[in-house]
Amino acid sequence: MSRDVARLLRSVHNMDMAVAGAQLVGRVAAVLRSVSASMPGGIATRGVADATGLTRPTAHRILASLADDGFVDQDDAGRWYLGPELYLMGSIAAERYDITAEARDSVRALAAATGESAFLSARRGDETVCLLREDGAFPIRSHVLYEGIRFPLGVASAGLAILAFLPDPVVERYLAASDLTGRFGPQHSADAVRRRVAETRERGYAVNPGLIVEGSWGMGAAVFDGSGQPAWALSLTGVEARFGPDRLPELGRLLLEHAHRVTRRLARTQRA
């Protein structure tokens, strides 16, 4: 075997190992996200397999390995939860990424002023994850959102608000690569999301008119990071009767006011 052939084979082998390693990391990340999305109730191994597209034995092997290092934990009923090691890592990461301290007052103020449930959500890749919830005084509530739940960008008002203020090429690449209709129905086709993106840009805030759960409405406004990118969103949810055309502009004004307030507060914190 010539040296060139041997070198080529070693290169191919290294690339195969790199691809295999990347696939494993992707699988581990998917497993951890599925466990995170199940909190606080936990999730069975079969549920992890269904959520990630892995076989049940593969999902179990990854979960067992993660449990050995404290990244997940399993109760006596066989349900999986995030483990203590992730808590410690999260506490350290929060020093850089957690903005709940800057946003909590606005979330509470929105709930108090409107009577609806108010939220803070963060962008994580092509998803949003809900970080904070504060319920207002109105006794009938929507329960679509809760702390820890994830939605793809363009789905729910927070994800729509964030997607709308990303650059056009980013939005188009995302819509071309995503199939939201399989899980969320034809009202989340690329063309339908594209129309809502345009409407959100025109208004400044997003409106979700019961597209996930009939009768459960939401509104969202983007919060921007130091580079001017939409990284978080404040949102409100409630029953349809509370989001009539006579009230939407006032709710939108409040959302934008507090979103701008949090954005300015973050800018001051980052400059300090």
**CATH, residue 157:** 3.30.450.40
Predicted confidence band of residue 148 (pLDDT cuts 50, 70, 90)? confident
Q: In the predicted model, is pLDDT for residue 15 greater than 80?
A: no
Compare 163 and 66 and report the one with higher pLDDT. Answer: 163
Please check whether residues 59 and 186 belong to one and the same domain: no
- Residue 77, domain member (yes or no): yes
Encoding tokens for residue 271? Answer: 């400059």
Please check whether residues 82 and 122 belong to one and the same domain: no
Distances (CA, A) of 107 to 20, 59, 158: 43, 37, 13
The reported pLDDT for the residue numbered 158 is: 96
- Residue 93, domain member (yes or no): no
When pLDDT is averaged across residues 42-56 and rounded to a whole number, the result is 90
Q: Give the range of the structural domain holding residue 62, as residue numbers without chain letter.
A: 3-88
Please check whether residues 170 and 198 belong to one and the same domain: yes
The reported pLDDT for the residue numbered 79 is: 93
Please check whether residues 18 and 43 belong to one and the same domain: yes
Please check whether residues 205 and 233 belong to one and the same domain: yes
User: Tens digit of pLDDT for each residue in 254-265?
Assistant: 999 999 999 998
Distance, C-alpha 250 to centroid of its chain: 26
Please check whether residues 248 and 133 belong to one and the same domain: yes
Please check whether residues 49 and 145 belong to one and the same domain: no
- Residue 134, domain member (yes or no): yes
Predicted confidence band of residue 12 (pLDDT cuts 50, 70, 90)? very low
Number of domains in the chain: 2
Compare 31 and 116 and report the one with higher pLDDT. Answer: 116
Please check whether residues 110 and 84 belong to one and the same domain: no
Angle at 178 (CA atoms; ends 54, 171), nearest 5 degrees: 140
Q: Please state the pTM of the whole predicted model.
A: 0.69
Predicted confidence band of residue 14 (pLDDT cuts 50, 70, 90)? low
User: Tens digit of pLDDT for each residue in 211-232?
Assistant: 998 899 999 999 998 889 999 9
Please check whether residues 106 and 229 belong to one and the same domain: yes
